[in-house]
Amino acid sequence: MPFLGGALLLVGVPALLSFALAFTRYDALGPPQWVGLANFTEALRDIRLGAAIHNSVYFIALAVPLRLVGALLLALLLNRPFRGVGACRAAVYLPTVIPDAAYALIWLWIFNPVFGPLNLVLGALRLPTPTWLADPATAKLVFVGMSLFQIGEGFVILLAGLKSIPREYYEAAHVAGGSRWQAFLCITAPLLWPWLALLTFRDVIHSFQYTFTHAFLMTGGDPYYSTLFMPLLVYEEAFDRFRFGVGSAVMLLMFLLTAVMIAALYRVFRGRGYADAA
Amino acid sequence: MTHSSARQRGAQIGFRPRAVGLALVMTILGALLAGCNTGRSVPGTTRVSFMVFGDPAELAAYRKLVAAFEAKQSEVRIQLIHIPSQKEYRRRLAADFTGGAPADVLLSNYLRFSDLASRGGVEILTPYFVRSTVLREEEFNPLVLKAFTWRNRLYGIPQNVSSLVVYYNKALFDAAGLPYPEDDWNWNDFVRTARALTRDVDSDGRTDQYGLGVEPTLTRLAPFIWQNGGELVDNRLEPTRLRLLEAPAVEAAQWFVDLQVRHGVVPNRVEERAEESEARFLNGRTAMFLNSRRGVPTYREIRGFDWDVAPLPRAKERAGILHSDAYFIARSSRVKDAAWRFIEYACSREGQEIIAASGRTVPSNMTVAASAAFLDPERKPQNSRVFLDTVPVMRAAPQHAGWVDIEEIASDELERAFYGEVELAEALRRTVERTQNVFNEYGPGAVSVAVPPAPGH
């Protein structure tokens, strides 16, 4: 109850208030004025919103499955005992605890199109050297790539999921002559499905927010809005242009978009979730 | 564990929920009360918060200003709040206004203030200014006083009257055997010089030294449009649309874009991404860089080469663009009289001399601007007089409440043309089309006062 009360007071009420702001013109200097849907029409007329929606959906569509697959493969790989497994697990988790600002600066250096180590190595190997953040075609991929190294939480959850599967199931499959691949398909995958569903929901929600600090520090949305994600647009509208109403409208749209994606995923996962939810 | 047993166990170890709850409430109330600046800290003194932006050299100058003010009197104490970058400063300002607790004294440039003034965020300073025995209207540059006037009311007391100039690396000019820029150089001279200074030093096919660095923004392009006889907007006093599709503006924009696309004297997008032009200038690998007075404190730290400033090259006529910040008092301040006393001091001859010593400002007080405090030949740039010579031909951007939006959209589109990603005509067409939405959205009521052209223009 105390947690629920705190969450309601500190998260629920401010969220509802900011949803209400979406229907007002509010510049922080005077009282909000009711404008109905004007902020939405204004936001929809701005090409930046279209770009931000496209970029956010693009990021989620690429990053979420890749992050899940990456976390799953690493969890499968590091689920067996061997010398140094603890260090390997720590190494997988480590990038997740690096502060966002420091993480962004590291990658800014790595992806420097001329002086960055990545392009220096690619150049030395006579491979193509993309201009990364300077090119709208590759700029978003940089953010996807960055996100693939911060999968520590998903990795730990899936490792816990794998540990929860009784060893007897695998032993029975082995006795029955099943291969490792068959064991994965018939035992591991079905039993991990609820964990994967949970991570997918969580990652979709998280991914909407994930890009903010990195885009803010690394590109500011450039080149030509190709890395302008929805949270950055909300921030710019509210705190750069003093248009808290439009910012709230974009935030509400982001919230609705998240809800739509979660609902679609729910349909996909329906019947494959936890036993107690079925 | 049940609730009752937990309560009993808590009592055994001295945990009393009601006492803890009360302590929590008291702590929160205390924190809230501490956050409310009533302006009274030490009995007999008034505390005034003053929020500034700038690099360490500027901060040092503001600290000196505050110390000098506090040494002169004992009733008002200044709490200096420093935000490093101007962009972050604007965001902090928005957050503070949202929270209902902005600093008592603020800095803002003339492009932003009309937004604050029209929404009642800042105090009208006309009565204070008229009553002042320290500040006299005739000591200030009229152009810049006008820039902070909205509907015939003065809202900000200008701190500086800067403009866009050409910073140049003397060592690179010497190495290329080129004379330093003349005061009356024109666009052709400028391009010729920039081309001569753009070099592939180690012959590896990649340019190592650029002739010029310039941000592809509307603010940087504007003076060149005016120089070519063009205009930014249809009506300076009540702008309703941009005039970037008219021949003089298109010609100027084409010349500006050609600096990169055709002549290659400015880094392309990839090179700029790898290392910004200003950093290249600081590292001695860009010969000329366009900037306002803002860069001087940082450039004074350069040890590797000598540098100076030159006026912008001219076309059909000379023109420059005003860059200016002023001191404001937040409408919500509870210590307005004390805040005014500080502003009065900061804008007095003594206060302006202290800030001018940082190198950051071109003093708005004309007497100080003409004195050794600003024109000291021992302090770089040696040719500081360039800033004063530009004043008569200086113009200001229209003070439309949505101008910051308009400027940003125009710059986003212009940047693509500047880096050769779209045709200039397409970029200009999109600029006009997109900014029209902003003009329409704000409507004519959004117009504050635009600064009329200087006499003779």
Give me the pLDDT at residue B441, please.
Answer: 81
A224:B116 CB<8 A: no
Give me the pLDDT at residue B413, please.
Answer: 97
The three-class DSSP label of residue B212 is strand
Task: Give the DSSP H or E segment for B394.
Answer: strand B394-395
Shortest CA gap B367–chain A (Å): 36
B412:A240 CB<8 A: no
Shortest CA gap B139–chain A (Å): 33
* Residue B318 CA to its chain's centroid (Å): 22
Give me the pLDDT at residue A27, please.
Answer: 82
CB of B316 within 8 Å of a chain A CB? The answer is no
Token pair recorded at residue B175: 């190495």
A42:B98 CB<8 A: no
CB B282 within 8 A of CB B305: no
CB of A109 within 8 Å of a chain B CB? The answer is no
**Mean pLDDT on B134-147:** 90
* Nearest neighbour of B274 by CB, restricted to A114, A135, A224: A114
Helices (H) and strands (E) in chain B, counts: 21, 14
CB B339 within 8 A of CB B105: yes
Residues of B in contact with A244 (CB under 8 A): 98
Is residue A269 over pLDDT 70?
yes
Is residue A178 over pLDDT 80?
yes
CB B358 within 8 A of CB B58: yes
Give me the pLDDT at residue B34, please.
Answer: 45
Is residue B448 over pLDDT 80?
no
Q: What ipTM does the predicted assembly reach?
A: 0.86
Give me the pLDDT at residue B41, please.
Answer: 56
Residues of A in contact with B97 (CB under 8 A): 28-29, 242
**Mean pLDDT on A57-86:** 95
Give me the pLDDT at residue A9, please.
Answer: 87
**pLDDT tens-digit profile of B24-75?**
555 454 444 444 444 555 667 899 999 998 888 888 889 999 999 999 999 9
Q: Which residues, in sequence order, are bridge partners of residue B150?
A: B153
Among the residue ranges A4-18, A252-266, B332-346, B361-375, the one predicted with the least confidence is A4-18
Cα–Cα distance, B112 to B326 (Å, whole number): 11
Shortest CA gap B415–chain A (Å): 8
pLDDT band at B451 (very low <50, low <70, confident <90, very high): very low
Interface test with A, best of B97, B210, B273, B332 (most A CBs within 10 A): B273
CB of B25 within 8 Å of a chain A CB? The answer is no
Is residue B13 over pLDDT 90?
no
Is residue A277 over pLDDT 60?
no
On the CB side of A44, CA atoms within 13 Å amount to 7
Percent of chain B predicted with pLDDT > 90: 66
B91:A240 CB<8 A: yes
* Nearest neighbour of B441 by CB, restricted to A42, A113, A238: A42
Give me the pLDDT at residue B394, please.
Answer: 93
Sign of CA dihedral B144, B148, B154, B159: negative
A223:B269 CB<8 A: yes
B421:A30 CB<8 A: no
* Ranges B50-59, B222-231, B370-379, most confident: B222-231
Residues of B in contact with A112 (CB under 8 A): 273-274
Is residue A73 over pLDDT 60?
yes
Nearest alpha-carbon partner for A158 in A191, A184, A180? A191
B274:A115 CB<8 A: yes
**pLDDT tens-digit profile of A180-203?**
899 999 999 999 999 999 999 999
pLDDT band at B102 (very low <50, low <70, confident <90, very high): very high
Kindly report whether the global pTM for this prediction surpasses the value 0.80: yes
Give me the pLDDT at residue B272, please.
Answer: 96
A225:B412 CB<8 A: yes
Interface of A with B in 134-163 (CB under 8 A): 134-135
**Mean pLDDT on A252-268:** 93
pLDDT band at B205 (very low <50, low <70, confident <90, very high): confident
Shortest CA gap A210–chain B (Å): 21
Interface size, chain A vs chain B, as Cβ–Cβ contacts under 8 Å: 57
CB of B426 within 8 Å of a chain A CB? The answer is no
Give me the pLDDT at residue B84, please.
Answer: 87
Residue B105's φ and ψ, nearest 5 degrees, are: -115, 130
Give me the pLDDT at residue B238, please.
Answer: 81
A114:B270 CB<8 A: yes
Percent of chain A predicted with pLDDT > 70: 97
* Nearest neighbour of B119 by CB, restricted to A27, A223, A240: A27
Q: Look at A257 and B8; give whichever has higher pLDDT.
A: A257
In chain A, the largest separation of any two C-alpha atoms, in whole Å, equals: 75
B97:A28 CB<8 A: yes
A224:B115 CB<8 A: no
B121:A29 CB<8 A: yes
Nearest CA in chain A to B440: A42
